[in-house]
Chain A
Amino acid sequence: MADKVHVTTLLNGESVEFLCAPSQTLLECLRDILGLTGAKNGCNDGNCGACSVLLDGRLANSCLVLGAEADGRTVITIEGLADWAGLHPIQQSFVEEDGLQCGCCTPGMIIAAKALLDREPNPSDGRIREWMAGNLCRCTGYETITRAVRRAAAHLNGEGAEG
């Protein structure tokens, strides 16, 4: 059995240290070692996006990143979005637009939306759909999800919610 690896990351704004086996993915480290079960284990091979996190600000599938390779990097999970004042505007928009049903894909969807809106504050509908292609939903349908991202963009740009 290979030795465990010591990992230091900046996780949701806090410095976090943990030990993991070299074979453990970042998703396993988040869920099983650190108790952060927001990122979901959907397909576990990069297809569905339910495990999406931000790694150094870029959207990534945490099921295909080794925990050991998160050392020295910045990780943001769904748990890092809301603060004491309440939900993050993207989360609030998903609530307002009914952008979820069973909720399994939702943490990944919201993280993917954040990755997009952090860099492109005014994406077109086409761009939103293209960007969210790596996040699969089997119940909501993509229409309300697209609407939620559009509403979140408006919120974040300081515009009143539409309609």
Chain B
Amino acid sequence: MAIKPFAHGNAVTVAEAVEALSASCRPLAGGTDLLAMMKADLTAPESLVNLKTIPELHEIGVVPDAETTKGLRIGAMVTLSQLAAHPAVQGRQELGRGSLTRSSMAVLHQAILRTASPQLRHMATLGGNLLQEPRCWYYRNELIPCWRKGGRLCYAYRGENKRHVILGGGPCYAVHPSDPAVALLAMDASLRIVGPAGERTMSLAEFYHPPDRETRTVTHLAIDELITEIRVPAPQAGTRGVYVKVAERAAWDFALAAVAIQAVMEGDTIRSCRVALGGVATIPWRASQVEEVLMGQASSPAPLSTAVIDRAVEAVVEDIRPLEHNGYKADLLQGVLREALDQLR
């Protein structure tokens, strides 16, 4: 389907873009999701403001985070392939004392490389990736007025739901499609957000919320606000990360289940860790109960004991509420968690 006519303008500054934003004027980043949504007539803005022409949004900077560590600041228009090629993300540029290891940023690097296809990674931006619309087949069908689009019902709840939510679902059961968001949640990343009233910073953990009954969205981004920067704190010494994803195809597919772990090791012991799950909830899902099981357990250099892995898997199962056709995802998620814990050494 051709896209309905709209006006197009290039913004040069963030302020200019923010001033233009409204319900009928939407920001255009990489276009890989928005233009597809417009072709399907799921959204029809009167105008688009191009953000790719704002130079500052393309910068990746290593900046002092504290006295001895440095964080990574990623402009929202940095593409996924640019980010995957950055020396800091590849573990070749020091971000903090003792952080110069391949594994300290590996969770993000692996998540990006499991995202979409080479074509799409060249086009898609990190900011846009965090704000993708769900891939639910009912949501993406312009003829179906599902709850997320302002209708009364979630058709997936009693319908074809094999790819849908198993954790914390309702009223919408569409999974969040992003891989990088899951990795960034495990890394405790935060966002710089700019709107008419100025700028604010918000952790990714706070940014996402289950579908809101008023706005039917899953983020705290207002209609006239932009994500301008993604901030990743410097990994502490001894940090190890892993991202494991399972999809129907080995490449170019959305996660059926994914696990991101970012752990800080002290000798053989897991001093602290953050665990996030993808492909299973309406938002990137923090698995605090799994973190509690893992904290203080010995891992390196030997793998975690079977007993600990079993307890971690049990902890993730507790909250799972599968729908009619997606019970298999509970098993998948357990397998992916086992695989991730096995790789964490």
Contacts and interface: CB of A to CB of B under 8 A. Distances in A.
B116 interface: yes
A145 interface: no
Interface in A38-63: 44-46, 49, 52, 55, 58-61
10 contacts: A2-B8, A3-B7, A23-B4, A24-B2, A52-B119, A61-B123, A64-B35, A69-B31, A133-B118, A134-B252
A28 B249 CA distance: 30
B39 to A, nearest CB: 6
Contacts of B122: 55, 58-60
A54 to B, nearest CB: 10
A1 B32 CA distance: 24
A162 interface: no
Interface of B: 1-8, 28, 30-32, 35-36, 39-40, 48, 50, 52, 81, 116-120, 122-123, 249, 251-252
B4 to A, nearest CB: 7
A133 B7 contact: no
B39 A44 contact: yes
A133 B251 contact: yes
B5 A49 contact: no
A60 B8 contact: no
Nearest to B1: A44
A25 interface: yes
A130 B251 contact: yes
A60 B123 contact: yes
Given A60-B122, A134-B116, A134-B117, A45 B3 contact: no
A81 interface: no
A156 interface: no
B118 A69 contact: no
Contacts of A131: 118
Interface string A13-46: 0000000011111001000000000000000111
Contacts of B40: 45
B36 A5 contact: no
B123 A65 contact: yes
A2 B123 contact: no
A68 interface: yes
A25 B6 CA distance: 12
Contacts of A117: none
B6 A2 contact: yes
A45 B40 CA distance: 9
Which are the 10 A-B pairs with shortest beta-carbon distances?
Answer: A134-B117, A22-B8, A133-B251, A45-B36, A23-B3, A2-B7, A58-B122, A133-B252, A134-B119, A61-B119
A61 to B, nearest CB: 5
A3 B40 CA distance: 23
Interface in A110-127: 112, 115
Nearest to A61: B119
Contacts of A2: 5-8
A10 interface: no
Contacts of B35: 25, 64, 66
Given A45-B40, A133-B251, A66 B8 contact: yes
Nearest to B249: A133
Nearest to B122: A58
Contacts of B4: 23
Contacts of A115: 118
Contacts of A69: 31, 50, 52
Contact of B7 (A22, A49, A130, A134): A22
